[in-house]
Structure formats: C-alpha cells, structure tokens
Amino acid sequence: MVYVPRLAESHLRRSLGAFPALVLSGPRQSGKTTLLRHLLAQSHAYVLLDDLDQRSFAEGDPIGFLDRHPAPVILDEIQNAPGLLPSIKARIERDPRPGRWVITGSQRFSVMKNVSESLAGRAAIVNLHPFTFAECQDRRPSAKTWDAYLDALLDKRPNDPARAPNLGAWLLKGCYPTVWRRKNLTAELWYPSYVQAYLDRDVRGNIREANLYDFQRFLKLLAARTAQELNQASLAKELGLSIPTIRSWISLLEASSIVFLLPPFHRNFGKRVIKAPKLYFMDTGLVCYLVGLQSAQHVLDGPMAGALFETAVVSNFKKTIDAYGVRDCLYYWRAVAGLEVDLLIDRGGKLLPVEMKMSSTLTPRHAAGLLAWQRLAGQSSPGLIISSSRETGSMGAHVVRRHWAGV
C-alpha cells in the first residue's frame, strides 16, 4: 500500500529531537504503526506487544525483555505491558539521549496514567487521529504552523477545490486510513469488525461483563446525538442507567479517542450562555454505521445530515490542532436566547468564529449569525463559513467562505 504523508510528521520529528521518549497515542487503526515504521524504519527496531509471547516476556521479565530489544526501539501497544515503563525510566536516567524510546498505545487513559507515573517530564505526547480532509485527498498542506493554516483559510481570494468528492459518500466512508487505502474494502465491511475489536480489546476490560450489552446500546444512542449538547441525565434515563455510569463510559470513549467534548466559551458578552459541552464523534463513518445509515443519499436526505456535516468539520479542526501540536483552543458559544456560533477558535486572545452550512448556495442570511456575534463581541476581524458552496472567498467585509474539502 502507498504511504499517505501525515500532517503530524513535523510535530513528531520535533518531539523526537527534544525528549528521550515519545508516546504516540490515538484510536485503533488511526495509522500509528504505519507512520512510525515509515519514519523510523532505518533507525528503530520494532516490537508489537499485541503478540502474546512478547507480552508475556515483557511482563514476566521486563529487564530481560529490554536487554533483548534495546533502544532505539518502537514498543507498539504499550498498554499490554505497562510493567515495562519503570524499567524504561531507569534506562532513560542512565542514557537521556532524545528519541530512543518510541511508545504507542490505543487505550489513552491507561497509557497516560502509566506514562505520567513513570515517564513524567521524559516523554513527549503526540496524538494521532484518523485522516484529516487533506490527508484523505493525499494533499500536503502548505502551512507549516497552525497560525499559517488559519491565515490560509481566511484568505479572501476564491479557492475552489476542483476534485472535491461527493459529500454524502465522504460522510458515510469516514476518515480511517484503512478504509481509504484498501480499495477492495468497503465501509460496510470494515466498521462492524472495527466496533467489535474495540469492544473486545478496549471496553471489555474496563467495564463489567454484564454491562457490555448496555454499553453497545449507549454507543448507538450517543452516535445519534453527535454535535449536540451533552445531557448525561437524559442518556441515563433513556438507558435505565445511573449518571455516574454514563459519565464513566463517556470518559472511556474520550480516552479511546472515539469522541471528544467541545467546551463552551464562558465569556458572557452580555448574555446568559449555555455551559454544557457539546459531544462530537471523531469519525462520521463510525457514526453512520452505528445509526444505520447505508447510502450516500440516505446520509444527505436524512435528519442527521447537518449534525454529520458539523461533526466532520469540527473533528477535522480537532485532528489538525493535535497534528500541529497546539494546545486545545476550540470552543462553541450559545446564548440562552438562541444566538449560537458553531465553533470559536482562540488565537491567543483573538477569537475566530466559524459556522458550518451544508448548503451549496450561500445567501446573506447564512452569515447573519456570524455578524450578530461579531457585533455582540465587539470584534471586527473576519469570521469563517465552511459549506458545500463552490463560491469561495470574501462574502462581504467580515466573512470568508471556504468549501469543506479545502479545509
């Protein structure tokens, strides 16, 4: 299979040059192993800790295991052998040269807990997600930094993406690398096995066996609520579960990078604001599978079309900030009275408001919410509308339009 360059490569290389260890986390099948073996094939040995023999050796004799697999080395799926980490720490203290220990993990909660206990201050953390829009199109972004990326989006010149694929097909397919790189593999075949593997490997060991069926019901119900404000009490009532159980299961999905929570922006701007976070799945293909959408037309004509489009765009921004190694700077804003901005990007105190409109024809009413927020916030810098419209560039003095495939 042809390797698809990843946006996170530069951030990963910088981290390797600065820390003795690097932890690459992310959901299963997000391309962690492929990325590392492409970049480090000539310099690092590779050990997969999913292998039962390797796992047993590592847990039973960590010193002997590390003697057999000395640095520089990639230790893949470290959550299967967390007992290695204290021995790695001891070796780093003896030899702190950067970039010698590369660790991956799919269970972010357990991996980060063990890393923070053993490798605090010694390891860089890089998060890798499924493909961004650009990576799906094998399009290398020209921007070297997050700020340059945003500046390019706000360029008022038209920029029509000539090769934009069908939106419904894109949302249905999702952005996991395997689905894109294996031409003979369809989303309908891949997602059922992916969900089963996730339940077997990442969920079964973290919840009671008796609750596994309820967790599957919970996952499907949550998928139907992507891009909505999180209401744990409503979920608990509908599923007949306790709020603490719902809270712990959401934390598990966050730790697995299946979902993320978008916090509200708390500055008042003279209005009472909504203070619950919004929940987004990281991949629309997974959402479509969980809620039973089976065709591109079904996706675009169904009641979830707008939520799926918003999920795709917001998750793309989340993937992009993590790839650039930027701290979380994404929020949403909604007043109790109804005024809302889908996404606010904090640029060091300056806020970039972003709206998502699935429409292929933009009119002044589509910009009304952005303009109202700009007046309320006392801000004159441009806002951004991301849509299906081929008309891109300036939309008046304070709004810039971008086609979703060019984000």
E strand or H helix that includes residue 62: helix 62-68
* pLDDT, tens digit (0-9, with 9 covering 90-100), for 238-252: 999 999 999 999 999
Residue, of 184 and 326, whose pLDDT is higher: 326
Distance in angstroms (rounded) separating the CA atoms of residues 90 and 119? 10
According to DSSP, residue 264 is labeled: B
Query: Is this model's pTM higher than 0.85 or not?
Result: yes
Token couple for 5: 């360059």
pLDDT 10s digits, 7-40: 999 999 999 999 999 999 999 999 999 999 999 9
CA dihedral 145, 146, 148, 150 (to 10 degrees): 170
Looking at residue 110, what is its pLDDT?
A: 61
Query: What tokens were used for 108?
Result: 């972010």
- The residues, ordered by sequence, that sit 6+ positions from 72 with a Cβ below 8 Å of its Cβ are 40, 43, 44, 45, 99, 100, 101, 102
Element (H, E) at 311: helix 305-324
State the Rg of the chain over Cα: 22
Q: Angle 108-118/84-94 helices, nearest 10 degrees? A: 40
Region(s) of the chain under CATH 3.40.50.300: 9-127
pLDDT in tens, 37-80: 999 999 999 999 988 899 999 999 999 999 999 999 999 999 88
Q: Give the Å distances, CA to CA, from 30 to 105, 129, 248, 313.
A: 11, 5, 23, 18
- Compute the average pLDDT of residues 108-122: 73
333's tokens: 């804003």
- Give 197's contacts (C-beta < 8 A, 6+ positions apart): 28
In the three-class reduction of DSSP (H, G, I as helix; E, B as strand; rest coil), residue 82 is classed as coil
Share of the chain above pLDDT 70, in %: 95
Predicted local distance difference test score (pLDDT) of residue 121: 87
Q: Which residue has the higher pLDDT, 244 or 204?
A: 244
CATH code for residues 9-127 = 3.40.50.300
One-letter amino acid at 148 equals A
What's the pLDDT score for residue 1? 64
Of 157, 160, 227, which is closest to residue 382 (Cα–Cα)? 157
Higher pLDDT, 271 or 172: 172
Q: Is the pLDDT of residue 270 over 80?
A: no
Is pLDDT above 90 for 148? yes
Single-letter residue type at 230: L
